[in-house]
């Protein structure tokens, strides 16, 4: 029967809606059945009960486990998750669920791509889903930052460089633990949840996409929820078992005290670089300059003045300040020679105020007091000063290289295990970032972080907007990959024409 276009759309929409409504009788009988009736898919195309269309549910299962384990971790705190056997187990479940989540999501994306499941009117289903995927990748890095081991330190420093390169350093600073915590346990999960609701409501309204070719046979069948939950149960059991067998790694973090004890000369040269504002932090530029603090004030005068206030020593800083500029320069040069000398006996009775300060600060650092004072200078649990100082010493990069996890070694993908083949795996999903770095020679480029952020940002944008990009969005149809998914069902031709809500919109 001929109907005007707008009426046809209305019929299709209402039929699609009916497909997922529960029985009105049941709904009135029981509140939970009413809710389930509203949320479930009730009728699906015959291929809709295969594993390929359970992937969205499996992703939701992972998200639920992540929220439950994540809230437990946040509630119990860092000491618990690093030292208590149950804490280590829950942390490992969280990590293995992330691994499962990303594998499931990649498979879910592949099915959506191969079957052109993003065609109108489902384009926004893809857009919401793809945005979730980008947020999940970001979420993993903030998660590693919370762990509290060496990996957290190294990833935080590399991540900060990346965000600074992306011009977002002011808003996203992984060196600030409080901020990373808020982002990881509240802000990003909330955004993911909101996007998921939008994703699911749309998909539930439209139903599973029908084949894009008329000659693909299918029937409409009842959705099999039993098999769906069985698959979810198997996945959770697998995660729990893997977490029991292979714990999330822990390598002790680097402390300033370790550097100062192991190599006092390095400690001194770093302090001097902070003093005369020539350190990496003092001269940091990466398309924006987020480290606007004065390194002399933060790393030298503030801890030193605090120390002499408590101990009543003579104020070498005041003496230095009162000197003429040329004498200050000479003092700094002599202090440089002192820091690099193998035999320091010639400086034993030196009254050079810079050397006096070094001789106060280095023992303070060796005893752990210096790091505590730096932390006190930050108003909240913010590790920016400590981590930037450690980065200036070069100790973080040296340790990362010794563990095979420097950026040049594509180390994030290996985590602290030093090998891609050891379990649990690192964040292998960052391999494309390593490839971009190598392919474009970004590691040796002073603007490398900015360029990597721009390239990655563009890739993410193309990925999110994919259903809206003309011609490119036809690629899956041209490749004709869908039979691999649909071909598993030998359904009969439908007895009556099913609503194909997408056909009118593609026309
Ligand atoms: C938290 C993450 C996600 C959850 C919980 C989720 C959940 C779901 C569910 C339950 C469905 C319906 C059944 C199914 O096809 O499995 C679905 C469909 C869909 N999802 Fe997702 N999804 C997520 C992420 C994504 C991502 C990252 C993408 C793509 C970039 C995506 C694209 C799609 C598409 C295109 C469909 C429609 C498939 C069709 O009708 O043939 N989703 N999603
Ligand atoms: C998309 C969801 C999430 C992803 C991808 C994710 C990812 C991660 C990763 C990769 C880690 C490091 C794991 C390790 O130490 O081995 C982590 C840690 C952590 N996550 Fe999540 N997470 C998610 C959701 C949540 C939620 C919802 C919360 C809390 C409400 C949470 C709280 C935590 C806490 C407290 C830690 C630090 C403890 C630890 O190291 O495991 N996470 N997360």
* Secondary structure letter of residue 345 according to DSSP: G
Q: Which residues of the chain have pLDDT under 50?
A: 1-18, 488-507
Tokens of 170: 């002011």
Q: Which atom of ligand 1 is nearest to the CA of 133?
A: 27
Tell me which of 67, 106, 203 to substitute to probe ligand 1's pocket, judged by most ligand atoms within 8 Å of the beta carbon: 203
- The residue nearest atom 14 of ligand 2, judged by CA position, is 95
- The residue nearest atom 39 of ligand 2, judged by CA position, is 147
Check the CA dihedral 361-363-366-370 and report its sign: negative
State residue 20's pLDDT score.
Answer: 65
Residues of the chain with CATH 1.20.810.10: 41-251+449-506
Q: Where are the beta strands (DSSP E) in 131-288?
A: 220-222
- The residue nearest atom 23 of ligand 2, judged by CA position, is 66
Check the CA dihedral 183-189-194-200 and report its sign: positive
Query: Which residues touch 336 (CB under 8 Å, ≥6 apart)?
Result: 269, 272
Please tell me if the CB atom of residue 73 comes closer than 6 angstroms to any atom of ligand 2.
yes
Tell me the Ramachandran region of residue 415: left when phi exceeds 0, alpha when psi lies from -120 to 50, beta otherwise.
left
Query: Which residues touch 37 (CB under 8 Å, ≥6 apart)?
Result: 21, 22, 23, 26, 27
Rounded to an integer, what distance in angstroms lies between the CA atom of residue 418 and that of residue 292? 35
Check the CA dihedral 167-171-172-174 and report its sign: positive
Answer for the pair 494, 218: CB distance below 8 angstroms, yes or no: yes
Please tell me if the CB atom of residue 185 comes closer than 6 angstroms to any atom of ligand 2.
yes
State residue 27's pLDDT score.
Answer: 54
Q: How many Å lie between the centroid of ligand 1 and the Cα of residue 108?
A: 6
Q: Where are the beta strands (DSSP E) in 209-325?
A: 220-222
Task: With 0.75 as the threshold, say if the pTM is over it.
Answer: yes
- Give the rounded distance of the alpha carbon of 104 from its chain centre: 17
Of 154, 146, 151, the C-alpha closest to 176 is 146
Q: How many Å lie between the centroid of ligand 2 and the Cα of residue 91?
A: 8
Tell me the Ramachandran region of residue 77: left when phi exceeds 0, alpha when psi lies from -120 to 50, beta otherwise.
left
Answer for the pair 192, 105: CB distance below 8 angstroms, yes or no: no
Tell me which of 61, 68, 70 to substitute to probe ligand 2's pocket, judged by most ligand atoms within 8 Å of the beta carbon: 70
Answer for the pair 321, 301: CB distance below 8 angstroms, yes or no: no
Q: Helix, strand, coil proportions of the chain in percent (round to 5)?
A: 70, 0, 30
Query: Which residues touch 180 (CB under 8 Å, ≥6 apart)?
Result: 142, 145, 146, 156, 173, 174
Q: How many Å lie between the centroid of ligand 2 and the Cα of residue 328?
A: 49
What phi, psi does 20 have (nearest 5°)? Answer: -110, 20
Beta bridge pairs of residue 67? none
Q: How many Å lie between the centroid of ligand 2 and the Cα of residue 179?
A: 14
* Secondary structure letter of residue 414 according to DSSP: T
- The residue nearest atom 35 of ligand 2, judged by CA position, is 74
- The residue nearest atom 26 of ligand 1, judged by CA position, is 129
Q: Which atom of ligand 2 is nearest to the CA of 147?
A: 40
Q: Where are the beta strands (DSSP E) in 320-368?
A: none
Please tell me if the CB atom of residue 98 comes closer than 6 angstroms to any atom of ligand 2.
yes
Q: Measuring from each residue's beta carbon to the nearest atom of ligand 1, which residues come in under 6 Å?
A: 53, 55-57, 59-60, 63, 105, 108-109, 112, 115, 117-118, 122, 125-126, 129-130, 132-133, 196, 199-200, 203, 208-209
Tell me which of 53, 199, 227, 489 to substitute to probe ligand 1's pocket, judged by most ligand atoms within 8 Å of the beta carbon: 199
Please tell me if the CB atom of residue 136 comes closer than 6 angstroms to any atom of ligand 2.
yes
State residue 287's pLDDT score.
Answer: 66
Q: How many Å lie between the centroid of ligand 2 and the Cα of residue 182?
A: 12
CA 9 to each of CA 13, 500, 502: distance values in angstroms, whole numbers, following the listed order: 6, 10, 10
- Please check whether the domain covering 41-251+449-506 is classified as CATH 1.20.810.10: yes
Answer for the pair 159, 174: CB distance below 8 angstroms, yes or no: yes
Tokens of 388: 């930037």
Please tell me if the CB atom of residue 112 comes closer than 6 angstroms to any atom of ligand 2.
no
- DSSP for 415-431 reads GGGSSTTSSS---GGGH
The torsion angle over the Cα atoms of residues 315, 321, 326 and 332, rounded to 10 degrees, is: 50
């Amino acid at each position: 029967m001929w109907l005007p276009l707008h009426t046809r759309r209305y019929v299709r929409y209402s039929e699609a809606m009916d497909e997922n409504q529960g029985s009105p009788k049941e709904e009135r009988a029981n509140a939970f059945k009413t809710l389930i009736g509203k949320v479930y898919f009730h009728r699906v195309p015959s291929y809709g009960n295969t594993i390929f269309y359970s992937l969205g549910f499996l992703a939701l299962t992972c998200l639920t486990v992540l929220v439950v384990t994540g809230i437990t971790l946040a509630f119990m705190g860092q000491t618990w998750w690093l030292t208590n056997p149950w804490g280590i187990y829950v942390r490992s479940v969280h990590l293995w669920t992330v691994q499962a989540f990303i594998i499931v999501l990649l498979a879910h994306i592949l099915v959506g791509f191969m079957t052109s499941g993003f065609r109108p009117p489902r384009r926004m289903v893809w857009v919401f889903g793809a945005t979730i995927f980008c947020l999940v990748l970001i979420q993993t890095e903030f998660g590693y930052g919370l762990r509290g081991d060496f990996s957290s330190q190294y990833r935080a420093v590399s991540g900060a460089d990346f965000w600074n390169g992306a011009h977002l350093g002011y808003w996203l600073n992984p060196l600030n633990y409080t901020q990373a915590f808020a982002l990881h346990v509240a802000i990003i999960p909330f955004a993911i949840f909101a996007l998921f609701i939008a994703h699911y409501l749309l998909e539930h309204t439209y139903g599973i996409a029908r084949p894009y070719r008329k000659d693909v046979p299918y029937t409409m069948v009842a959705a099999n929820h039993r098999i769906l939950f069985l698959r979810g149960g198997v996945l959770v059991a697998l995660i729990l078992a893997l977490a029991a067998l292979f714990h999330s790694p822990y390598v002790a973090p680097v402390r300033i005290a370790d550097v100062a004890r192991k190599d006092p000369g390095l400690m001194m040269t770093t302090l001097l670089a902070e003093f005369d504002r020539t350190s990496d932090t003092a001269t940091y530029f990466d398309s924006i300059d987020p480290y606007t603090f004065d390194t002399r004030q933060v790393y030298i005068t503030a801890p030193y003045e605090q120390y002499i206030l408590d101990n009543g020593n003579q104020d070498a800083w005041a003496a230095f300040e009162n000197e003429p500029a040329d004498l200050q320069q000479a003092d700094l040069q002599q202090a440089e020679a002192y820091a690099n000398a193998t035999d320091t006996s010639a400086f034993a009775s030196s009254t050079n105020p810079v050397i006096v300060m070094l001789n106060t600060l280095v023992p303070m650092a060796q005893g752990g007091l210096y790091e505590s004072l730096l932390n006190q200078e930050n108003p909240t649990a913010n590790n920016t000063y400590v981590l930037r100082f450690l980065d200036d010493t070069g100790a973080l990069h040296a340790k990362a290289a010794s563990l095979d996890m420097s950026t040049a070694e594509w180390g994030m993908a290996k985590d602290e295990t030093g090998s891609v083949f050891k379990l649990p795996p690192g964040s292998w999903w960052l391999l494309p970032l390593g490839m971009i770095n190598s392919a474009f020679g970004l590691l040796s480029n002073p603007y490398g972080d900015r360029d990597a952020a721009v390239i990655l940002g563009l890739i993410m944008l193309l990925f999110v907007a994919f259903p809206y990009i003309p011609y490119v969005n036809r690629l899956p149809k041209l490749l004709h990959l869908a039979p691999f998914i649909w071909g598993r069902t030998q359904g009969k031709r439908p007895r009556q024409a099913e609503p194909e809500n997408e056909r009118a919109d593609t026309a």
